[in-house]
């Protein structure tokens, strides 16, 4: 047990100011990931700044045809909200596939975006891990790597992002609202929110120091009728994805007007399948086109010694998710 200060700011600006005053401070929402990391001595904050009680827990129409998800709203409240289930069923389906009911009741939307990898080398402090301790090496690179990345990895890190919610948000094309010091705010496209390891694998996202997530903005819904979230895992529940696919299709006149596709369990960030999306635009929803889209999506993949199976699994998962998405309400 390492001692820490517990701070309860009364407003967002006070929270940001408290974080700016202590580089070792961490924001605390539901705590479903951070507290585990503290128990494992992976995270060692000297101060926890409670933000769960701040006024960012609304789920409401944003006036532009989309919806605003408060960063402090729980995953359970978001996934089960009637407007989200109706207009963004892909997001709801993905969120309900994650974790347990108890964890979804506690976990916040903002915290979901910030959860750390579940790579065992990251959690085991006796093993080398550049993400946990930069410069020590990547234990998984030549160790047990069956569940690790096939896209975007390098010798610094082969870990994957664990979130289901984020895969759906990538497919939908969300944006993230953050608050900075001095009352300033900025918007981050979801595709740019998480990052690849590069030469700083310890950084999971593009947030600047002290920035606080306040909301997730969803665009006007276009995948409410044809959607599917496929999650392949080692057991049927309470497990992270080996591979997941979020697929949304906007149909017009029997053709695909727009596709939203993203994969989980394959990269350091939710992996947006932009080439496959572009290929499917204007195409008929046929098995042949879905197979070609899957081939395009998996073409850049690079496997590690133990995860070659993810190539074929990934192709079949994309085809199945697209097929299920089209057949829903067809």
Q: Which CATH class is domain 226-327?
A: alpha beta
Q: What is the mean predicted confidence (pLDDT) over 174-193? A: 96
Q: What is the pLDDT of residue 157?
A: 98
pLDDT reported for residue 1? 85
> Residues 2-13: pLDDT tens digits?
999 999 999 999
Q: What is the mean pLDDT of residues 72-86?
A: 98
What is the predicted pLDDT for the residue at 162?
98
Alpha-carbon gap, residue 11 to 17, rounded angstroms: 10
Which sequence spans correspond to the domains of the chain?
5-52, 226-327
* pLDDT given for residue 189 in this prediction: 98
∠ CA 26-38-13, nearest 5°, is 10
CATH code reported for the domain at 5-52? 3.30.43.10
* Alpha carbon distance 256, 16 (integer Å): 44
- For residues 109-134, give the mean pLDDT: 98
Per-residue model confidence (pLDDT) at position 183: 87
Q: What's the rounded Cα separation, in Å, for the pair 54 and 108?
A: 12
Instruction: For 189-237, write each residue's pLDDT tens digit.
Output: 999 999 999 999 999 999 999 999 999 999 999 999 999 999 999 998 8
Mean pLDDT, residues 80-94 taken together: 98
Contact 209, 186 (CB under 8 A): no
């Amino acid at each position: 047990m390492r001692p820490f200060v517990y701070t309860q700011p009364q407003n967002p600006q006070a929270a940001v100011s408290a974080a700016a005053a202590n580089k070792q401070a961490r924001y605390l929402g539901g705590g479903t990931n951070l507290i585990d990391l503290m128990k494992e001595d992976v995270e060692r904050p000297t101060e926890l700044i409670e933000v769960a009680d701040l006024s960012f827990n609304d789920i409401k129409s944003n006036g532009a045809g989309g919806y605003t998800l408060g960063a402090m709203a729980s995953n359970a409240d978001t996934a089960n909200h009637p407007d989200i289930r109706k207009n963004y069923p892909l997001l709801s389906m993905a969120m309900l596939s994650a974790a347990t009911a108890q964890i979804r009741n506690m976990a916040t939307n903002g915290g979901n975006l910030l959860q750390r990898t579940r790579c065992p080398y990251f959690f085991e402090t006796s093993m080398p891990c550049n993400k946990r301790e930069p410069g020590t090496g990547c234990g998984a690179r030549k160790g047990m790597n069956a569940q690790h990345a096939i896209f975007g990895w390098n010798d610094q890190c082969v870990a994957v992002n664990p979130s289901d919610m984020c895969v759906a948000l990538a497919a939908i094309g969300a944006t993230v609202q953050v608050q900075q010091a001095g009352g300033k705010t900025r918007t981050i496209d979801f595709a740019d929110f998480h990052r690849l390891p590069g030469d700083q694998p310890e950084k999971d996202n593009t947030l600047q120091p002290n920035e606080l997530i306040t909301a997730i903005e969803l665009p006007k819904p276009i995948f409410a009728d044809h959607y599917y979230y496929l999650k392949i895992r080692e057991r049927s529940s309470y497990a992270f994805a080996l591979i997941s696919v979020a697929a949304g299709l906007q149909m017009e006149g029997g053709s695909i007007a727009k596709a939203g596709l993203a994969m989980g369990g394959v990269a350091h960030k939710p992996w947006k399948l932009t080439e496959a999306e572009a290929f499917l635009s204007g195409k008929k929803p046929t098995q042949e086109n879905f197979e070609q889209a899957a081939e395009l999506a998996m073409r850049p993949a690079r496997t590690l010694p133990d995860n070659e199976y993810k190539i074929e699994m990934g192709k079949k998962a994309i085809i199945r998710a697209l097929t299920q998405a089209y057949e829903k309400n067809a």
